[in-house]
Structure 1
């Protein structure tokens, strides 16, 4: 792939062929844990978009034949998503641009996709909601919370996950993803069955501890991201983190248009460099906040 194609000087310098935004989004999807977990994605070309939200179902009643059916309308409103700009800028030596083979050009694309996807995940899970930052799951009103205790606690068994899954089932949500920091997963992989087997709790099979571990808990896929804080304050603890358990279809990622990729050879003319800029706009809304459980106050073992 020739993401930065430097033609000869009299041909106008570097260009970004139109197919590259699609390529960029493929890599963005692969590297963003939020998108990969199954967030429902909505594309728009508007500055804001309204997403319908069902607050309460209508009711059904046993009815005598020939009698009037009682009216019961669902209660609904709308959420307004306002995609915010997320951008990355990179400068490349013109010598590198002109002499690089496709693999080094791929490296530039991968680097920008990774920068965007990491910041996007930070917004999805930790976003403060203070403009221009979007509101992440941690700060979304109405989500369910499972607290590990006044000062937090280490995960010593899988009970918190059983509770979180039960909380989702209690509101008719279908658990589909568990997202946590790698530190938390590392602690979970060390949990052992009680007794003398010394077998890890999450080993795929029923045999030796050397068997491969399944990155799933109670059959629900586990995804890891470094963009979840490990320095949350929870009571007296200042090294707490959170785990998110949710139904992915109830988390809506709103993307405004596609990624805009621009290449400019004049901005850094005096230093003989080419500027590459990527911009995109995104927001996140929760039609059913109760379909998200935050396990809060997880501290190191």
Structure 2
């Protein structure tokens, strides 16, 4: 990973070389997609071809001494083209030149959060129109569960049972569920029976050093506010999508990780330092059937 390039001396104290891994770790921890288990593939190339098997070879019972009928698995490749995600901010030279790690972390955390949030939005909803990457919503071949012609609110866990069932039928396993926080709020209010005050699902308790664990049918749930809540489903215009997938079948191709460039001359007249963050990444699905989109979820 390339950490920083500096012009002047103040930038050197902003982020010492050993902080490089720390910054990317912070970014990754803030990205729901990466935290949910996307397979990360590093590359130094402008494009990366990833092979995928479309259909397995065929096995047949064969008599002793008889010729074995050969079959070839059907395969092709998907090509990842990492594209640039960038952020630019200015910081006062008082902050940048402060050797106190806490002061440096304020800016590092702000930049990591900005990049992570945009990265997540694109992982799930990217259009694929350059320079934006193509997210899960717009990948061809993924499976879907519809909440109905005009959408519907979550009143049972049936859509998740359907999604997990579709994955199993495709020889995939649901390992992650990603939804908007408003969806979890609605699910938390579902009761076991009419008139009951007992919820169907609650946040599970982790160890004393962990926060609450969210899961549905044993599959971890991740929340992100980056999912749009203005999708159209028939007459509904306030719908959103939920994604259920086998995380290691979603490949995040990262080129050169994150680069942070610091320049103390860009805003010389205002005594500020410019800090630029760039990340090159793409998302590909070797097995699109390992992703299910539950669409048309309304409040």
Give TM-score, length-normalised by structure 2. Answer: 0.92
Whether 1:235 aligns to 2:234 is yes
Structure 2 residue runs without a partner (length 5+): 205-210
* Contact 2:260-2:275 within 8 A present in 1 as well: yes
Whether 1:299 aligns to 2:298 is yes
Displacement over 6 Å in runs of 4+: none
Question: What is the aligned partner in structure 2 of residue 139 from structure 1?
Answer: 138
* Contact 1:40-1:252 within 8 A present in 2 as well: yes
After superposition, give the CA deviation of every residue in 1:122-158 in whole Å (9 maximum; x if it has no partner). 1100101110000000000010011101110001000
CA distance in structure 2 between the aligned counterparts of 1:93 and 1:102, rounded to whole angstroms: 16
CA distance in structure 2 between the aligned counterparts of 1:97 and 1:27, rounded to whole angstroms: 19
Question: What is the aligned partner in structure 2 of residue 186 from structure 1?
Answer: 185
Question: What is the aligned partner in structure 2 of residue 208 from structure 1?
Answer: none
After superposition, give the CA deviation of every residue in 1:214-258 in whole Å (9 maximum; x if it has no partner). 510000000000110011111111100000000001100000012
Evaluate the alpha carbon distance shift between residue 277 and residue 214 of structure 1 in structure 2; reply closer, same or farther with a 3 A threshold: closer
* Deviation of the 1:190 alpha carbon: 0.6
RMSD: 2.0
Of residues 14, 19, 24 in structure 1, which corresponds to 2:11? 14
Equivalences for residues 57-72 of structure 1 within 5 A:
57-72=56-71
Question: What is the aligned partner in structure 2 of residue 91 from structure 1?
Answer: 90
After superposition, give the CA deviation of every residue in 1:49-81 in whole Å (9 maximum; x if it has no partner). 001111000010011111111101111000110
Question: What is the aligned partner in structure 2 of residue 256 from structure 1?
Answer: 255
Structure 2 residue matching 1:86: 3-state secondary structure: strand
Structure 1 residue runs without a partner (length 5+): 206-211
CA distance in structure 2 between the aligned counterparts of 1:82 and 1:99, rounded to whole angstroms: 38
Question: What is the aligned partner in structure 1 of residue 40 from structure 2?
Answer: 41
Equivalences for residues 54-133 of structure 1 within 5 A:
54-99=53-98, 101-133=100-132
Evaluate the alpha carbon distance shift between residue 84 and residue 66 of structure 1 in structure 2; reply closer, same or farther with a 3 A threshold: same
* Deviation of the 1:204 alpha carbon: 6.4
Structure 2 residue matching 1:29: 3-state secondary structure: helix
CA distance in structure 1 between the aligned counterparts of 2:222 and 2:93, rounded to whole angstroms: 38
* Contact 2:85-2:280 within 8 A present in 1 as well: yes
Worse-matched range after superposition: 11-20 or 125-134: 11-20
Question: What is the aligned partner in structure 1 of residue 208 from structure 2?
Answer: none
CA distance in structure 1 between the aligned counterparts of 2:139 and 2:186, rounded to whole angstroms: 27
Question: What is the aligned partner in structure 2 of residue 287 from structure 1?
Answer: 286
Equivalenced residue count is 288
CA distance in structure 1 between the aligned counterparts of 2:261 and 2:166, rounded to whole angstroms: 46
